[in-house]
Structures are given as structure tokens and as C-alpha cells.
Amino acid sequence: MLRYAICLIVFGVVLAKYELYEGHAVYRISVKTEKQALILHNLEVANSLDFWQRAAPGNEAIVLVPKQQRPLVEATLLFHGLKYSIEVEDVKPYLDAEHEKLSKSDVKSRSSPASGSLTFDKIHTLEEVDAYLQALTVRFPTLVTLVTAGQSFENRPIRYLKISTTNFQDTNKPVVFIQSLLHAREWVTLPASLYAIQKLVTDITDADLVNQIDWIILPVANPDGYVASHGEERFWRKNRATGYMPLDICSGVDLNRNFDYNWGRWSSDFVCTEVFHGRSAFSEPETQAVKTVFDQYGNRTQLFIDLHSYGSMILYGYGSEELPSNALTLHLAGVNMAQAIDAVKVAHNREYRVGNSAMIMYKSSGTTNDYAQSIGIPLSYTFELPASRIGFHVLGFLVDPEFIEQAGIETWEGIKTGARFVLRN
């Protein structure tokens, strides 16, 4: 009887966890012209909608619409002649299913982060990631160093791992910098960065990459947002900064619009949107922390990769459509990385696309990738990892346990191909 009661309580907690999203639907909207894109932009700002794929001519928009706003959104789309389809009537059952699957995989997991042993059969919490990184410094003191770059808005440490056989003292060695979880809800990017750490520290299969390159890996760039996304707000994207409007009715800054390159140009000055750029460039402690890494090692960094999801893309700057002077080299290296990933990808996932972010997706500003390129890092990219759910690419932020290790395996193929490109050129 007690066991039955406990099961009911646990099941009830699962059902209650995502009540916030009950009745939220996912819409796919066809966008043909700049005027239609502007209509959707105005709709986004007026109603604080969450666009998962932004509106641009020839680029379908995908948007999460709260239950109470659906009549208004549909009426607006019909009034302006915008064609749409409802891809998911209610996201909550899918959130519940993800939570149930990940909870089961968590129970079965053989991972032991505190002892420096990590398995890719679960999504690790912030506390587990911190414990793992600290354990590695104990196990491999001559190879790894854990550095605190700064504190988040809610005073959590933002830590990165330095991996070097020469303790970063050989300034002739190039640096490769990998970052993940700048956007909190993009969970699948975490196993990709942790897998790279494993292949460089505990399970070395490419010794040349360890010996000839110094590595910086920042697994959780947005710790506050990541913690929030493990609570009731699974689709939380931004940081957790408050004080931007009375009573904090809306909060948070899109950290990938807060860097100092074209800041504020193709983003939003309204805090209730998902692309709110903050008060000024580097107004947020999280972006300031990342900037300290660039300030210290940017002159040696030859390859920067910011891991995001979703979409199976390798993107380079600039978000304005302006191309860097080395665009051909950027494209060539990007194609090489994409081909390496495609060679081991899951069969049902589409092949990676490579190109300028504004040309493939939409214009953007204040991004980490653009900032890195602007300060002289020659190979600066955003990776958009694939959705893992067959037939539900519109729910691409959700993670299947079966895809966790695969995300690490295939992304590592791209990373190491990019690293070897650096060594050859």
C-alpha cells in the first residue's frame, strides 16, 4: 500500500510539473515577404510569444503559443492572410513523456560525476557537472585546470575547464574554445561538450589533439537559466536577470544577443521577448564571464564553437549578412566538419547545412559567434545540433535518452575535424 501511495505521489508530481504549458500549441507559419515577417515580429512583441524558428522571407516560423492567446494569434494570421498549421495541439504530454523517460534513465544511470566518471545515459544537472569538473582536477592535475570565470546573476559560479599538456604555457599552441548551454533549454548541447572533455581527458583516442592544442571548454554558460529549465519552465531560454520592468512581470536577457558586435540592431529592447538584448552590450554577468575568457585567450584562439540546438546547421558570421574576409575558409572548414558529423549521424536526421547565419536563417546581432569573429578568432561558428525525436522536429528542444550519447559522438567528430583543420593551416 505504501509503495502504491508513493507511486501515486511521484506520478502526481510529474503531471503537475509542467502545468504552465498545458494547452500550449506549436504553430508553423509560412513567411513569404518582409512585410509578413514584420507582422509576425509585431505579434511576437505584443504578445510575448516564443519563436523557436524566427520569421524571415522563405523561412517558416515555428512558434509556441499559450492556450489563452491562440484565438488572437489565429485571428491575426487569418486577417493578414498568413498560412499556418498547428503541429502540436498541446505540448504538455510531450514534456511529461520527456520527464518520465529522463527520470527512468537517471535511476538506471551508471554515472558517478563526483568520482570523475561520467556516462552518457542521462542529462546531468548543474551540480553533477560541477562535481565532475572538480573531480577531474583531482584525477588529472597535470592536464586539467578548473577556472571560475565569474558569477551568474543568481550568484552561481560560471566555470570552464582548461585542458593542456603544458599548462597553457606554450604560447605557440593554438587554443580551441567550446561553449554550450548559453541558451538554457538546449539540453542536448551539454552532453556534446562533456563528451569532448571525456575524449580529451579520460578516454583519449586522438592524442595529437591533446598534445598540440590547448582546450577551453565551458559546459554551462547560463547556469541560472539551466537550473530554471529543470524546474517548471522547461522552455526557458534566457538568463534570470530581474529589474528590467516593474514587478518583474517579465525577466531575463537573451545572452546570445548581449555581446558587443552590432548590439541591439537585430534583437529586441522589450524584456518580454525571447531575444531581449539587455541594457547594453555585456550588461549581464554571464556574458561578462565569457568575455574574460576571450580577453585572456582570444589572441591564441583559432577555433571557437558555440553549441546550440536545434536544426542540424553549422553557421558562421556575420548576422548582418556581411561576410568576414576569410568567408571561403570559414565555409570550407565548416563543410569539412559537417561531412564528418554526417558520416556518423542518426539515419533519420537530415544532413548538416553550412553557411552564413543570416542567409540560412535570419539576421541577428550581439551573438557570441559574431563577437568572436570580430575580435580576430578566424574560425568562429555556431553549431545547431539536430532534433532527436523522429517526426517531431518542431519539438527539437526535447531530448530522448537514446540520443544523448549520440549527440556527443557526432558533435565530437565535427569538433575534432575543425581542430585538425587548425593544425593543418
Give the model confidence (pLDDT) of 262-297 as tens digits.
999 999 999 999 999 999 999 999 999 999 999 999
Strand order in the sheet with 313-316: 144-151, 157-163, 214-218, 175-180, 301-309, 379-385, 313-316, 353-356
State residue 8's pLDDT score.
42
Query: Phi and psi at residue 413, in whole multiples of 5°?
Result: -60, -40
Give the model confidence (pLDDT) of 23-33 as tens digits.
999 999 999 99
State residue 393's pLDDT score.
63
What is the percentage of the chain residues whose pLDDT exceeds 90?
A: 84
pLDDT tier at 395, thresholds 50, 70, 90: confident
* Average pLDDT, rounded, for the chain: 93
pLDDT tier at 392, thresholds 50, 70, 90: low
pLDDT tier at 170, thresholds 50, 70, 90: very high
Please tell me which of 2-6, 297-301, 359-363, 399-403 the model is most confident about, judged by mean pLDDT.
297-301
- For each of the domains in the chain, give its residue range(s) and CATH number, in order of start: 23-89 (3.30.70.340), 110-231+277-424 (3.40.630.10)
pTM: 0.94
Catalytic positions, please? 384
Q: What is the 3 state secondary structure string of the chain?
A: CHHHHHHHHHHHHHHHHCHHHCCCEEEEECCCCHHHHHHHHHHHHHHCCEEEECCECCECEEEEECHHHHHHHHHHHHHCCCCEEEEECCCHHHHHHHHHHHHHHHHHCCCEHHHCECCCCCCCCHHHHHHHHHHHHHHCCCCEEEEEEEECCCCCEEEEEEECCCCCCCCCCCEEEEEECCCCCCCCHHHHHHHHHHHHHCCCCCHHHHHHCEEEEECCCCHHHHHHHCCCCCCCCCCCCCCCCHHHCCCCCCHHHCCCCCCCCCCECCCCCCCECCCCCCCCHHHHHHHHHHHHHCCCEEEEEEEEECCCEEEECCCCCCCCCCHHHHHHHHHHHHHHHHCCCCCCCCCCEEEEHHHHCCCCCCCHHHHHHHCCCCEEEEEEECCCCCCCHHHCCCCCHHHHHHHHHHHHHHHHHHHHHHHHC
What mean pLDDT is predicted for residues 162-186? Answer: 98
Alpha-carbon gap, residue 148 to 223, rounded angstroms: 13
Alpha-carbon gap, residue 44 to 102, rounded angstroms: 32
Least confident of 14-18, 44-48, 111-115: 14-18
Report whether pLDDT(165) > 90: yes
Least confident of 34-48, 295-309, 330-344, 399-413: 34-48
Give the model confidence (pLDDT) of 374-387 as tens digits.
999 999 999 999 98
Pairing of strands 25-29, 61-65: antiparallel
C-alpha pair distances (Å), 195 with each of 256, 412, 418: 23, 7, 16
